[in-house]
Amino acid sequence: MSRAVDSAVQPFAARRARLLAQLPPGTVAVLTTAPEVMRNSDSPYPYRHDSYFYYLSGFAEPESTLVLLAAHGDALARSILFCRNKDPEHEIWDGFRYGPEAACAAFGFDEAYAIDDFDKKMATLLGSGSKRRRKQIKKAELLPLLDAMRLLKDDSEQATMGRAAGISALAHVRAMRAMARSGAGLPEYALEAELLYEFRLHGAQAPAYPSIVASGANACVLHYSANNAVTRDGDLVLIDAGCELDGYASDITRTFPVNGRFTTPQRQLYELVLAAQAAALAAVAPGQPYSAIHEAAVRVLTEGMLELGLLDKNTCGSVADAIAEQRHRQFYMHGTGHWLGMDVHDVGQYRDIHAEGKPSRALQAGMVLTVEPGIYVRPAAGVPDIYWNTGIRIEDDVLVTPHGHTILSAAAPKSVAEIEKLMQ
């Protein structure tokens, strides 16, 4: 692309150029952003762009389409935006619109047109009847290329995700302090309100996903979202919450006691999960298989389950036997993380689909993932009742670096000593 663009939108232009370079000559790729969705009557839900579209454009308005034309003979590669026209009347009601001319200049496109002209322009762009007719490729053909690109975060993405994780860490600290200040009897939704306040206070546009604020037995429900119970003295609170900032998600989980002090059984389980996370984090480095993260966490958790009597040594045998028989899944039934990016469960393969046997994918610098072991003890025969109704998860956002990793969410305290000190 020959157009000079502002440094703020340069990453988007660079991505378009990278994708265009991978497309077969003469192809046309079309990406449309998400539609507006009505909540009720004439009131829409807060608008959120399509992640793929935004990744390539940086353009957040609805009713927009991006067209990428690969080089074709003597014709250079081009990127074209279709968007809403300027409309002073609508802008009175709904706010600013760029319009094609301003959007073209501001976002570094080669051309821009009104979305109402899309069908007419596409007929011309595809070259109907010409000797050099272009071929439009389907979105499904485009996504594997984009997924591979999105899996490796560039410098601008890493910076944004670092800021998002920092905001979310502040929100978790705020929730812990609010719990300490108010004490037992505070509703879960009041803690959720503290999170939302901190998100917006620092400029985040929205939660990256519905916040989980789960006290007591609710913490044993992995995707609990009611957030309407009342906290009780002696229980733990599990908060899984993160903000979305400028299109990028954060995802942090912390677990803390309602009264600011872990009981002995709670501390035993908590420190087991923390040790499992430490082992999993030690496996995050370039060249290491993604699967090693989960394997490390499972081994530590299974050892602890046997030592604490959650699993019967006489029945399970060795740690290796217990893992082979998946005995740990009674108390730990999910994976130890996922890719993180524009989507909270971001795109990208976890296996090398091009290698024989499809082995676990090797980690690379620039990948961002969560590391989130947990333990969930429901009442059951043979399970010590001192651990019943206890759910614990510890989750951090982690950037793979050339020499290891960086924890983006490190500002959220997670050791027993740190949490108890904060809540006093």
Q: Does the pLDDT of residue 128 top 70, yes or no?
A: no
372 is an active site residue: yes
Q: Which is the catalytic residue, given 198, 251, 303, 397?
A: 251
Q: Does the pLDDT of residue 129 top 50, yes or no?
A: no
251 is an active site residue: yes
Q: What tokens appear for 205 in the block? A: 């546009």
Q: How many CA atoms, within 13 angstroms, populate the side-chain half-sphere of residue 146?
A: 22
Q: Which is the catalytic residue, given 39, 42, 181, 403?
A: 42
345 is an active site residue: yes
The separation between CA 205 and the C-alpha centre of its own chain, rounded to angstroms, equals 14
Q: Which is the catalytic residue, given 3, 132, 133, 223?
A: 223
Q: What percent of the chain has pLDDT over 70?
A: 98
Alpha-carbon gap, residue 31 to 154, rounded angstroms: 21
Give yes or no for a contact between 251 and 164, defined as CB atoms under 8 angstroms apart: no
Q: At what angle do helices 10-22 and 139-151 cross, to 10 degrees?
A: 130
Q: Does the pLDDT of residue 3 top 60, yes or no?
A: no
Q: Which is the catalytic residue, given 393, 396, 397, 405?
A: 393
Give yes or no for a contact between 100 and 130, defined as CB atoms under 8 angstroms apart: no
pLDDT value at residue 216: 98
334 is an active site residue: yes
With tokens 């305290």, the residue in question is 413
Alpha-carbon gap, residue 251 to 275, rounded angstroms: 20
Q: Which is the catalytic residue, given 174, 200, 338, 378?
A: 338
Alpha-carbon gap, residue 334 to 276, rounded angstroms: 14
> Helix or strand or coil: residue 144?
helix
42 is an active site residue: yes
Long-range contacts of 92-96, Cβ-Cβ distance < 8 Å, separation of 24 or more: none
Name the pairing type of β-strands 65-69 and 78-83.
antiparallel
Q: What tokens appear for 232 in the block? A: 């009780």
Q: How is the beta sheet containing 396-401 ordered, strand by strand?
A: 368-371, 396-401, 404-407
pLDDT value at residue 1: 39
pLDDT value at residue 290: 98
pLDDT, the chain, mean: 96
pLDDT value at residue 7: 81
Q: Which bin fits 178, alpha (ψ -120 to 50), beta or left (φ > 0)?
A: alpha
pLDDT value at residue 135: 87
Alpha-carbon gap, residue 52 to 395, rounded angstroms: 26
Banded model confidence at residue 73, pLDDT cuts 50, 70, 90: confident
* pLDDT tens-digit readout, 276-325: 999 999 999 999 999 999 999 999 999 999 999 999 999 999 999 999 99
Q: Which is the catalytic residue, given 157, 192, 372, 397?
A: 372
> Helix or strand or coil: residue 155?
helix
* pLDDT tens-digit readout, 213-269: 999 999 999 999 999 999 999 999 999 999 999 999 999 999 999 999 999 999 999
376 is an active site residue: yes
With tokens 């991978």, the residue in question is 22
Alpha-carbon gap, residue 53 to 198, rounded angstroms: 28
* pLDDT tens-digit readout, 314-360: 999 999 999 999 999 999 999 999 999 999 999 999 999 999 999 99
Mean pLDDT for the stretch of residues 181-189: 98
Q: Does the pLDDT of residue 126 top 90, yes or no?
A: no
Other CB atoms within 10 A of residue 73 CB: 9
